[in-house]
Structure 1
Amino acid sequence: MIAAVELVDHALVERQALVERWAERHGVDAARRLAEAEDLADAVAAEITPDNTTDTYAKSWRVWTRFCAAARLPELESSRGSLVAFVAWMLREGQQNGKGYAPSSASTHLAAAVVGLRERGVTVSGDDQAEARAALEGLAMKLLKAGERRGRGQAVGGDIDGLSAIVRACPDTLTGERDKALVLTGFHYASRSQEPAGLLTGDITVHPRGLLVDVLTGKTKHSVRTAKIPYADDTLICPVRAYTAYRTRLVAEHGERWADPSTPAFVGIDRWGHVTGGMVPDSVTRAVKRISMRAGVPIAWTGHSLRIGLASVARRAGRDGIAIADQGGWARHSRSMLGYMQRDNASAGLT
C-alpha cells in the first residue's frame, strides 16, 4: 500500500511540474488543456492495457518487495548489485514456498520489476539491467549443467488422433457438445485460452463453406483477424458441424436468448447442466485439460496445445508457413510459430 501511495505521489509531482512548465511557455489556459489531454491519454492507456499485463507487473513488484525485505535493501533504489542479487535470490529461493523460480519466470519478474522501479521515479541503468540479465543467463546455464530443469517446458501439441479420441469420449450432453466445439474450432484457428473465452456469438458466422471466426488477437497490440474454418472431410472431427450442433442444442435447451449476437459463444456449464455464463481463460484451460484426460490422451493437453497443434500438424501436411501464420495470428516468420512446428525436423530423411 505504501509503495502504491509513493507511486501516485511521484506521478502527481511530475505532472504538476510539467503543467507549470507549460504555463510558463504557453499560458495558464493552454496548460490546463494540455493537462486535460494528459489525463485522457492516461485513461486510454489504462483502458487498453491487457489485464494480464497489469497483473504481471503487480505480481513482479510484489516479488521485488519480498526480495528487498529479505535482503534488507530499500525498495526504491536500483544498482548493479541489487539487480544481480535479485536474480540470484529468485533462482535460489524466490518463490513463496522457498523454492527457486524457473529462469523464464525470473526473467519476466526482472523486466517487470525494472518497469515498476522506473514508474516510481527510480533511474535504472541499462548497463546494470544488462548485467543482471547476463547473470540470469549464466546462472540458468549452471542449473542446466547440474541437471536441474525448471518450469513446465513447452506444452504438448494437439494432433488428429487426439482430436478423434476427444470427440469419441465426449458424452451426449450439452457439455459434451460444447467440449467438441471448443476443441475442434480452437484447433483450427490455433487458439490461445483467452481467445475462445472472448468470443461472442456474433463473432462466429456460419458460411456455406464453413465458419468465419473474428478473433481478437495479440498480447499487447490488439487486432482482429478473421480465421476461415472449412468443413472437414472426416465428419467425426468436423469443427463446423460440431459448432453448429452445439449452438443448436444450447438454444433448444436454454432458450432463444443464447442466439443473440452479444452473448458468449462458449458458455460455462456446471455439473447439473446449468449455464453459468461465458467461459473465462482459466476455465478454457481447465476444460481442455479435462477433455483430453477424459479421452485418455497420453499427455494431457493444456490451453496452448491447440495453438501448438495447428502449427505442427499443418506444417507436416505441407501447408505454407505464411498461410499458417495468417490462420493462427502469428507474425509471418514468427520465431514462436517456428518453435511450435515440433516435428518439422530438418534432418529427417537426409540419410
Structure 2
Amino acid sequence: MDTSSSTSGELPVNSSADDAEHKQISETHFPPLPAHLQDLTDRARGYVEAASSANTRRAYAADWKHFSSWCRRQNLSPLPPDPQVVGLYITACASGGAVGSAGGTGTRESKPNSVSTIERRLSAIGWNLVQRGMTLDRKDRAIATVMAGIRNKHAAPPRQKEALLPEDLIAMLETLDRGTLRGMRDRAMLLIGFAGGLRRSEVTGLDLARDQTEDGRGWIDILDKGLLITLRGKTGWREVEVGRGSSDATCPVIAIETWIKFAKLAKGPLFRRVKGKGKDVGPDRLHDQEVARLVKRAALAAGVRGDLSESQRAHLFAGHSLRAGLASSAEVDERYVQKHLGHASAEMTRKYQRRRDRFRVNLTKAAGL
C-alpha cells in the first residue's frame, strides 16, 4: 500500500547497500587513471553496470555477501578463489549448513538451498570474481563433481506460479477503486502486464516516450488501434503490440490513457509512486516488486483459487502470473505468443502455458497404435 512516509511499501529503485557494492566492484575493476582519462573511466563504469540488469546485480551482491560471510565463519578467505572452498560452500548450501560457524559453536539451522539457488550462487561468485580481475574454474572437479552430485540428488521440477486467466483478472480489477489515482494506476499495471505479457521489471521500466530517463527499459506509443511498446529485454530490443480491447472496462490502452490523464504525466516514468494520501503522484519510478505485491494483493481480494487456504493462495501468485496468464489463454498460433513474450524458443513459451492442449499431437495414434 502506498503512503507518503519513508516506510512506504513501495520501495525505491536503488538502495545504499547496492550502491556501496557497485562502488566497491567498480573501484576494484577500474584502478586510478590519469585525470584526462577520468571521463572515459566513468563511462566504462556505466557500461559495466549496463551489462546486467539491476535485479541481477542485486541478487549477485547478496549471494557474494552470503558466500563471504560463510567463509569468515569458517576462518577461510573468499579471495583468491579456491575451488575446494567453493565446493565446500555449495555442499553446505545443499545440506542446510551454510550458516553454521566454525568449530561447531554458535550454529543455527537453515533450510537447504534449491539446486537453482545454488547454481545462481555459483554464477554470482564467478561474476564477482571477474569484476575483481579474477576467475573461478567451475570445471574443477572440486566444484563440478560436487555440483553434479547435488543435481542428481536434489533436483526437482520447478515450482511455477499460478497463471491468472482472463476471468481471474476481471475479478481482480473489480477490487480496485476506479475513482482514485492509485486504483487507476494499479488497473493500468495489471492490464498492460497481462495484455503485453510483460515481466514485472518491464512494466515498471516503461517511460512515456523514448530517451526520457537513464534507467528506463522501454517506452510506449499510443496509436489509434492500440499501444506499441518498445522494450529492451533479455533477448535485445523488441516491439510488443497491445491492441484495444472489446470493452472499455478491460481495455489496457484506455486504462493507460486514463492513468496518464488523471496523473497529469508528461515525461519520465510511466508508473510512479502515489503519495499524499493518494492524491499526489511523485516523480519516482515504482520498484518492480510492487507488481508482484499488487498481483498477490488483488488476487487474494478477488478470491482467486478460493478452494485453497489463504496461506496457500499467498504463495501461488506473483508478477509472472500475468505473463503466464496471457500465454495460457491466448487462442492463437504458438509462434505469435512466442514472439509477443520475446522468447528465443517455443519450448520456453510452452513452460508458460499452464492451460493448453497437451495431446493435440498424438504420436501414439500417428505410429499406428
Task: Tell me whether the two structures share a fold, i.e. TM-score over 0.5.
Answer: yes
1:284 corresponds to which of 266, 285, 291:
291
CA distance in 2, matches of 1:294, 1:280: 22
Does 1:312 find its partner at 2:328?
Answer: yes
| Counterpart in the other structure of 1:71 | 74
| Superposed displacement of residue 228, structure 1 | 1.4
CA distance in 2, matches of 1:59, 1:41: 25
For these two proteins, the number of residue pairs brought into alignment is 312
Structure 1's consecutive aligned runs of 4 or more residues displaced over 6 angstroms after TM superposition are 4-7, 32-38
Amino acid at match of 1:124: L
**Cα distance, 1:36–1:273 mapped onto 2, change above 3 Å:** closer
1:94 corresponds to which of 92, 98, 117:
98
Deviates more, 1:54-63 or 1:117-126: 117-126
Does 1:232 find its partner at 2:245?
Answer: yes
| Counterpart in the other structure of 2:44 | 42
- Partners of 1:213 and 1:227 within 8 A in 2: yes
Task: Give CA-to-partner distance per residue, 1:288-341, whole Å, 9 cap, x none.
Answer: 221222211124521111112222222xx1x2233222222222x254323112
Query: Which structure is higher in helix share?
Result: 1
Identify unmatched segments of 5+ residues in structure 1. 17-31, 252-257
CA distance in 2, matches of 1:99, 1:210: 48
Asked which structure has the greater CA Rg, the reply is 1
CA distance in 2, matches of 1:6, 1:279: 26
TM-score of the pair, normalised by structure 2 = 0.72
TM-score of the pair, normalised by structure 1 = 0.75
| Counterpart in the other structure of 1:167 | 173
Deviates more, 1:289-298 or 1:70-79: 70-79
> Percent identity of the aligned residues?
23
- Partners of 1:94 and 1:101 within 8 A in 2: no
- Partners of 2:199 and 2:319 within 8 A in 1: yes
**Cα distance, 1:118–1:268 mapped onto 2, change above 3 Å:** closer
| Counterpart in the other structure of 1:54 | 57
Amino acid at match of 1:173: G
| Counterpart in the other structure of 1:208 | 224
Task: Give CA-to-partner distance per residue, 1:214-243, whole Å, 9 cap, x none.
Answer: 33322xx653x3321112224442222332
Identify unmatched segments of 5+ residues in structure 2. 1-19, 100-107, 210-218, 306-312
CA distance in 1, matches of 2:221, 2:28: 49
Does 1:327 find its partner at 2:337?
Answer: no
CA distance in 2, matches of 1:10, 1:170: 48
CA distance in 2, matches of 1:206, 1:281: 23
- Partners of 2:343 and 2:349 within 8 A in 1: yes
Task: Give CA-to-partner distance per residue, 1:138-172, whole Å, 9 cap, x none.
Answer: 2244346xxxx79x822111211111211222223
Does 1:269 find its partner at 2:281?
Answer: no
Greater RCO, CA 8 A, separation 6+: 2
| Superposed displacement of residue 68, structure 1 | 1.4
CA distance in 2, matches of 1:74, 1:205: 52
| Counterpart in the other structure of 2:153 | 142
Q: How large is the Cα RMSD of the aligned pairs? A: 3.4
Describe the SS at the equivalent of 2:78. Answer: coil
